[in-house]
Structure 1
Amino acid sequence: MRCSLIGIKFKEKYLGKAQLNNDLLVLSVFGSLCGVLSGLVMVLFYTLIYLPAEYFMAGDYDGFESLPVLDRVAFVWVSCAMLALMFSTLPNRILKVGVPYIIERLNHHQGLLSLSNALVQFVSAVIGLAGGLSIGKEGPAAHLGATLGSYLAQKAKLPQYGVETLLACGVAGAISAGFQTPLAGVLFAFEVIFLEYRLRYVLPILLSSVIAMLISDYALGPLNFFGVSDLVVVNFTPDLFFTCFCLALFVVFLASLFFRIQKRLWRYNVQSVWLRFLVVALATSLAAIYLPEALGSGYDSLEGLLSGDVVVYSLLLLIVAKTVLTALTIGLGIPGGMIGPTFIIGGLAGVQIALSFDTGLSGGGEIALFALLGMAAMMAACFQAPLTALVAIIEMTHSSEVIVPALFVIVVACLFIRTLLGQDSIFVERLRFAGVSSTISPFQRQLRHHKVKPILDEVLILPMLVPIKQVKGLASSMLEYVVFDGAGEWYFVKRMVVLEALKQAEFGPQAWMRFSQDALCMDLVEAVSPAALPLIDEPASLEEVLNWFQQTNRAEVLVALSNTSSLYIVTRRRLDEFLLRDS
């Protein structure tokens, strides 16, 4: 008997492990497909953004300062007018876009994203970026990738953890393709979208990220954002760390300014879209006339400084103007990313600090070094994504000289933002302002990681009029429940109750006896007074099962598994037993 029990436990363990491996293989295949689609979408995204640059700016999609003043202003006004027209005519339900929308759908709507919202995000981001508005492309990229992953998971009818995994695959793939930073794309999905590290299915996410980056590299070529080949060899002196500390304080100031301007503007998002976008157009037009380097993402301005260009205007003015303009643009509802602009703001801040302090370093590479430190610190402080920021600059610059001082600046900036200013990730703060939680409880997460199959009980399906001979056969059955279809509605009863009713036949004819096709039958409705049992499709996770029980206040439900004709019963008792055992 003991050997038999050991054999059963071994079999269950083996089957469970085999199921996990099979799930991992399926998710890896879909993750690869998601990487391909994310890469192709980002290639199309880049191509459309580059089109105006090919005709007006000699191929430099960020070179708005090379245009005549009237052309720069015209770009701004045309893009704002097109966006206002779009947002005033389309229904509000499809206008929610960006990273906060992804987090909300992930935590409160099973990760299901609409293609219509993604289309709005795609078109609006192309218009805004092509028009020179101070926004980035990574927020739209994350939304597009997440939607692709969610759509694939829905079509494949994957369970809840499959939806979340493919959503992360899409986000990582899109960020990887947009910046050609595969590892940073994976960390972005964990730190910014999930707000935690989920390593159970990291392999499909890595696979998606790498494939998307390869497609981007093949179609667009290497995206060399910054030329920092002349980085100095870092000597860890007290002067270096004092300068790094000053840079961290400067970044904290800029991140706080960036956040507080947006927070004050969020309350005005109920105003007319034409009025809000008019304000953005006016502010951006002033920048287009007097400080065109603040237009667009701003990569060319930082690249010029790193290349040794002479600063003919106040660098501090450009930093503040870029911070305020980006916060104003996004805070008033222009759909765009924030990570690219914060990279640039941090990089410019690093250059300003390097020019203002004695860094204790020799050579000319200290400016490039502090630009990278500022980029990492600003991104980490604004989005509370320290590892993503660190890895992103390493992958974008192909340099590791920055690691130790970057970690110091990142930690100091994040600590000051969180502890002294009480500021969380700006995406989390945006959701909190809207009254939406950015996280779920560990209990909910545990429920989402399990399918319904572990708590299914097989049932014996009988006709409503069942021959007495067949009823007697129930005595040898191992199944606990009997279900039958009575007048288009499913009923269930315990097997032992049916056998108890059959014993009454020993005392003479019963009211439930019927003749059908010359055979004596039992009318189950008359014999056992069964309970009606709702029939539902297979839930995506145990969270859906629990929610169903709580909403209906029932204790049993009949489940039809997808891709099969089998029916199973799920009881609240079995769910509670599973949760207690699993915890």
Structure 2
Amino acid sequence: MPRLPRRISQWNLENFRRQLATVDALPQLCLLAVMSGALTGIIMIAFRELISLGALLFMPEGSGEAFEALPMAMRAALPVIAVVIIGVGLGWQKKSARRMGIVHVIERFTYHQGVMARSNWLNQWWVGVVSLLGGLSAGREGPAIHLGAGASGWIGQQLKLPHNSLRVLVGCGVAASISASFNTPVAGVIFAMEVVMMEYTLTGFMPVMLAAATGAVITQIYFGTAPAFMVPSVVEPQLIDIPWIILMALVIGIMAGGFIRLAGLGKRSDKMSWPFRLLLAGVLTGVVACFYPQVQGIGYDSVTQILAGNVALDVLLALALGKLLLTAISLACGVPIGVVGPTLVIGAAAGALFGIGATELLPTTVSDANLYVMLGMAAMMGAVLQAPLAAIMALLELTHSPDLILYGMLAVLSASLTARLAWRTQGFFITTRQGSTLHPLHEPLMQALARVGVGAVMDRSVTVTAAQIDIERARQLLASRPKWLLIHRQTDRSRADTEPGKAPLALLAADMARALDDDEESPGWKNDGTIDLLEIPGKRLELAPIDLQATLAEAYERLDDRRLDALYVRHITAPMMHRVSGIISRDAIENYYR
């Protein structure tokens, strides 16, 4: 019984945060992953039901993709109405609040340690619904990923978890979103690791896999196990198909590279006002929709019809080229839409065109056209996102056909390399976000340091003191055997309970002990029997603050920015109140990395 209170105390939130700061906190991260996957699954259900509820208001039979059944005038007007609503709803907000979707998630993950902005997350709900029901060429997965990542990050932010675990939670939300949207858990995991987190580690893999599985279970309980679109039995591929597959992949790679370049023009379109650009995207979509309504919305119904062989050649051309241009122009004009869904539809149409060509020219030797449809979807997704492994795994999970892996690899890799080399692009998310500069997480040092919180490496043997103290107080400080003394330079207060007006200094406790041994012969002794810790012999380190939630990567960057050798770690306990938790030095960070 005497041990029970100590055991219970080990499970308090403070110890939980401390454990999460380490690099191997797998049990704790897996527990959070289940929470993340469950919450993301519920968010996905709510988002899809919100779209269905909106479709009941004006769409035929309440179907969110039945644009073909609408009158021509309504098809043309819907995109214009949608961009006007988006413009009015976002126009009064600050520019940063307009950033949404996967690009925003990657930006927050890379530069803000996964801390998601609340205003952007709230905007994503209604903007996602309006863009899809408004007939813009948009995808559901981009908003879903933003909502899932934001909800998962909210768990960490509410618990004030260290940023290294917050980053894993964001990855969990991304994986669970993709898994819940397509019923493809493995593809969701690979997408999160390959596109957002950009690293493969055991600490990241296991929680992200658990979140993806949990998210899929939640949505399957509600919606069933049917995939996003029905995939018929795929004819067994043959080696004779390889030349056509390679040719198709080369063309899709050129299309994907052009898509990325065109969408990236938005960074150089500041000469046109944002409202005008929104209106331009809406009008162009409406004009094309007058003749080819299939370009509106996500287009998964069109994929189902393509696989069933019920789509005319001109419609396939409209989906392959028209939807590509409309989606890229909408992105360039600043319309916050998802990109994953449209790339799959564009790839399916392009693949169908090549499949029809192959079966017409070589009817007795090549496989069914549906083979090229599925490979085209994977090739376009892999080339646009520059995420070949995620595309191949999505192909495998959607078709349940391991025989396609070899041919899928050839198609996806050929298309990805073609887009990269022919257009010199690094992928849609990196290109549209920051041009061709190196992604910060590509640096091995920063990758390693971002996995660990400062709480795991900092020196906790710290005592806070005023600059001038008497002998009795000095001996009391040494009795607690601290390694460091954190000295306030502006106040005589002995506790760091409020924000200091000036950054403190760090002094080794051994230097003060040496000064006490020297007694009044040491510099720093005053006539009234007090000692000034700012004057005694010893090495004093200039300090800057850093929060306990920060990662070693954040600490390393702050040390470089401030040109310092150490930081004091503070734990925010209340607004404008904090306590010192420890000191982390440059040597400690470098020793950890080595």
Inter-partner Cα distance in structure 1 for 2:132 and 2:261: 24
1:307-348 Cα offsets, whole Å, 9 max, x none, are: 232527453244211211111122211111111111011111
Q: CA deviation at 1:511?
A: 5.8
Let me know the Cα RMSD of the aligned residues.
3.4
> Residue 528 of structure 1 is aligned with which of 533, 536, 555?
536
Inter-partner Cα distance in structure 1 for 2:243 and 2:206: 40
Inter-partner Cα distance in structure 2 for 1:376 and 1:570: 49
Residue 593 of structure 2 corresponds to residue 582 of structure 1: yes
Inter-partner Cα distance in structure 1 for 2:51 and 2:35: 25
Q: CA deviation at 1:352?
A: 0.9
Q: Which residue is 1:168 aligned to?
A: 171
Give the match's secondary structure for 2:25.
helix
Residue 336 of structure 2 corresponds to residue 338 of structure 1: no
Residue 203 of structure 2 corresponds to residue 200 of structure 1: yes
Q: CA deviation at 1:41?
A: 1.4
Instruction: Name stretches of at least 5 consecutive residues in structure 1 with no aligned partner.
Output: 1-15, 515-520
Instruction: Name stretches of at least 5 consecutive residues in structure 2 with no aligned partner.
Output: 1-17, 494-499
Structure 2 CA distance for partners of 1:480 and 1:466, relative to 1, 3 Å: same
1:364-401 Cα offsets, whole Å, 9 max, x none, are: 97122211010000101111111111111332343334
Q: Which residue is 1:329 aligned to?
A: 330
> Residue 543 of structure 1 is aligned with which of 527, 548, 553?
553
Q: CA deviation at 1:270?
A: 5.3
Letter in 1 for 2:558: W
Q: Which residue is 1:218 aligned to?
A: 221
Inter-partner Cα distance in structure 2 for 1:196 and 1:147: 20
> Residue 80 of structure 2 is aligned with which of 56, 67, 77?
77
Q: CA deviation at 1:423?
A: 2.1
Q: Matches of residues 344-359 of structure 1 in structure 2 within 5 Å?
A: 344-358=345-359
Structure 2 CA distance for partners of 1:493 and 1:267, relative to 1, 3 Å: closer
Q: TM-score, normalised by structure 1?
A: 0.85
Q: Which has the larger displacement, 85-94 or 290-299?
A: 85-94
Give the match's secondary structure for 2:590.
helix
Give the match's secondary structure for 1:570.
strand
> Residue 515 of structure 2 is aligned with which of 501, 511, 514?
501
Structure 2 CA distance for partners of 1:364 and 1:52, relative to 1, 3 Å: farther
Q: Which residue is 1:279 aligned to?
A: 280
1:505-561 Cα offsets, whole Å, 9 max, x none, are: 4889x96465xxxxxx64455983896866654251223333333344444444345
Letter in 2 for 1:548: R
> Residue 32 of structure 2 is aligned with which of 30, 33, 55?
30
Give the match's secondary structure for 2:583.
strand
Q: Which has the larger displacement, 481-490 or 48-57?
A: 481-490
Q: Which residue is 2:151 aligned to?
A: 148
Structure 2 CA distance for partners of 1:268 and 1:568, relative to 1, 3 Å: closer
Contact 1:315-1:348 within 8 A present in 2 as well: yes
Contact 2:83-2:282 within 8 A present in 1 as well: yes
Give the match's secondary structure for 2:344.
helix
Give the match's secondary structure for 1:528.
coil
Structure 2 CA distance for partners of 1:536 and 1:522, relative to 1, 3 Å: farther
Q: CA deviation at 1:362?
A: 6.6
Q: Matches of residues 77-96 of structure 1 in structure 2 within 5 Å?
A: 77-96=80-99
Residue 51 of structure 2 corresponds to residue 49 of structure 1: yes
Letter in 2 for 1:542: L
Q: CA deviation at 1:305?
A: 2.4
Inter-partner Cα distance in structure 1 for 2:479 and 2:24: 35
Inter-partner Cα distance in structure 1 for 2:357 and 2:108: 45
Residue 314 of structure 2 corresponds to residue 303 of structure 1: no
Give the match's secondary structure for 1:402.
helix
Give the match's secondary structure for 1:219.
helix
Inter-partner Cα distance in structure 2 for 1:142 and 1:570: 37
1:21-72 Cα offsets, whole Å, 9 max, x none, are: 9722222122211112211111111112122433522143212101221222
Inter-partner Cα distance in structure 1 for 2:87 and 2:199: 36
Letter in 1 for 2:492: A
Give the match's secondary structure for 2:136.
coil
Letter in 1 for 2:61: A
Letter in 1 for 2:593: D
Residue 461 of structure 2 corresponds to residue 448 of structure 1: no
Q: Matches of residues 116-131 of structure 1 in structure 2 within 5 Å?
A: 116-131=119-134
Q: Which residue is 2:241 aligned to?
A: 240
1:482-521 Cα offsets, whole Å, 9 max, x none, are: 456652376654334334433454889x96465xxxxxx6
Inter-partner Cα distance in structure 2 for 1:556 and 1:176: 43
Residue 573 of structure 2 corresponds to residue 570 of structure 1: no
Give the match's secondary structure for 2:200.
coil
Q: Which has the larger displacement, 454-463 or 58-67?
A: 454-463
Letter in 1 for 2:451: H
Q: Matches of residues 554-569 of structure 1 in structure 2 within 5 Å?
A: 554-561=564-571, 567=580, 569=582
Paired-residue identity, %: 28
Q: Which residue is 2:4 aligned to?
A: none
Contact 2:103-2:433 within 8 A present in 1 as well: yes
Contact 2:227-2:398 within 8 A present in 1 as well: yes
Contact 2:141-2:340 within 8 A present in 1 as well: yes
Q: Which residue is 1:8 aligned to?
A: none
Structure 2 CA distance for partners of 1:484 and 1:399, relative to 1, 3 Å: same
Inter-partner Cα distance in structure 2 for 1:558 and 1:18: 20
Inter-partner Cα distance in structure 2 for 1:280 and 1:474: 68
Structure 2 CA distance for partners of 1:467 and 1:153, relative to 1, 3 Å: same
Q: TM-score, normalised by structure 2?
A: 0.84
Give the match's secondary structure for 1:559.
strand
Letter in 1 for 2:516: L
Q: Which residue is 1:13 aligned to?
A: none
Give the match's secondary structure for 1:224.
coil
Give the match's secondary structure for 2:461.
strand
